[in-house]
Amino acid sequence: MALPPIDPQSPEPKLDDEDLDGKTERALQAALGGLTPKEALLEATRAENADVEVRAAATARNRERALRLLAALEGGKGEDAG
């Protein structure tokens, strides 16, 4: 379905405040997915906290891997020198 061409000379349509408020309210409800603003904030906070925990665990795993790799490299140097 093609949209009609835009005429740059035509004035923008005017929206009255009630129509604009209604459209804004519908857009907000759609963005919240049926949650209240408080519920949406709590959900976002929980998701952020979970993300922080996941990143902390990944950092710990990466540190362990790096230490094992460093130990393997240092162990290999000692064997090559002897």
Q: pLDDT tier at 82 (50, 70, 90 boundaries)?
A: very low
Indicate whether 66 pLDDT > 90. Answer: yes
The DSSP H or E segment spanning 12 is none
Cα 18 to Cα 21, 22, 27, 36, 45, distances in angstroms: 5, 6, 14, 22, 33
Model pTM above 0.75: no
pLDDT, one tens digit per residue, over 5-59 is 777 777 666 667 778 888 888 888 888 888 888 999 999 999 998 999 999 999 9
d(CA 18, CA 13): 15
